[in-house]
Amino acid sequence: MTTAEAPAMTEELLFEQRGHIGIITLNRPERLNAITGTMLAAVSEQLIACQRDPEIRVIVLTGAGRGFCAGLDLVDQQARMGAGDDSPAPAAPGYSLFDLRDAPPVVLNKMDKPILCALNGPAAGYGMDMALLCDIRIASDRAKMGAVFARRGVLPESGGTWILPRLLGWAKAAEVAFLGRVLDAQESLDAGLVNQVVPHDQLMEITLELAEEIAANAPLSVQATKRMMRLGMDEPFEAAVDHIYLQLLPLFRSDDFKEGVRAFMEKREPEFQGR
């Protein structure tokens, strides 16, 4: 990271910066990137670091190997329970009954910077929820979405009960969740869970092209737009319009707004600086 303090490094989570794009990679390919407590902490810390770094304008979340994320590591959980630890899930910063502020699903939902998911393979349980909490999902033709919570005796604890009805509507969300459905890439596209399906070997190329296109826009404008979209889901229209106007006023005073107007008048591409 260039201007924000870098989080502690772990082999289970990789980070790479390409220009204004931050790439976060879940890195337990031998376990289909099943989530451990260490990974939960690392994901939250890296997302927060990207949010604070003005050089990062877009984030790409993906997985190493042939899977995106198989969910919480149940093998790890069972081993800990066998050792006398009956806690229901791996530990993560702030991840307790009453304080979820630093849990990855909450951090993902609060992020103002756009997050693209390069869905490189199966996403199940917790992994599916993390993918759905990204703003845009580009799926490999080998990807799958597995809402398998009911088959494991749990529920979509990481945001699925909130996001699925909003993406699918109540009836379709109930069908997917109650039956523990596994949707392949085309079914996920047809249902509206992913934005597009691409050949597996072109996944990162296409995702990064889209990320670069977003990053070329005025970052303050993109982030304000995302924030107003997110808050607008839970407020009436009149309140949303009022809040949007208040967000617009500082944008009018930004250097990027002036650059956007100049570029339009001069018939050239703008060069935004994020200020």
Q: Domain extents for the chain?
A: 13-215, 219-265
The answer to whether the pTM exceeds 0.75 is yes
Q: How are beta strands 115-119 and 136-140 bridged, if at all?
A: parallel
pLDDT at 95: 47
pLDDT at 104: 87
pLDDT at 10: 79
How far apart CA 234 and CA 66 sit, in angstroms, is 37
Structural contact between residues 219 and 56, judged by C-beta atoms closer than 8 angstroms: no
Options 3.30.2320, 3.30.460, 1.10.12, 3.30.70; CATH of 219-265 = 1.10.12
Helix (H) or strand (E) holding 264: helix 255-265
What is the mean pLDDT for each group of 10 consecutive residues in the chain (275 residues)?
Answer: 56 95 96 90 94 97 96 68 52 52 87 97 94 97 92 82 93 93 95 97 98 96 95 91 91 93 92 92
| Side chain identity at residue 272, one-letter code | F
Which one, of 125, 63, 55, 115, lies nearest residue 90 by Cα? 125
Structural contact between residues 118 and 145, judged by C-beta atoms closer than 8 angstroms: no
Structure tokens at 228: 């107003």
How far apart CA 270 and CA 274 sit, in angstroms, is 12
Q: Identify the CATH number of the domain defined by range 13-215.
A: 3.90.226.10
pLDDT at 80: 54
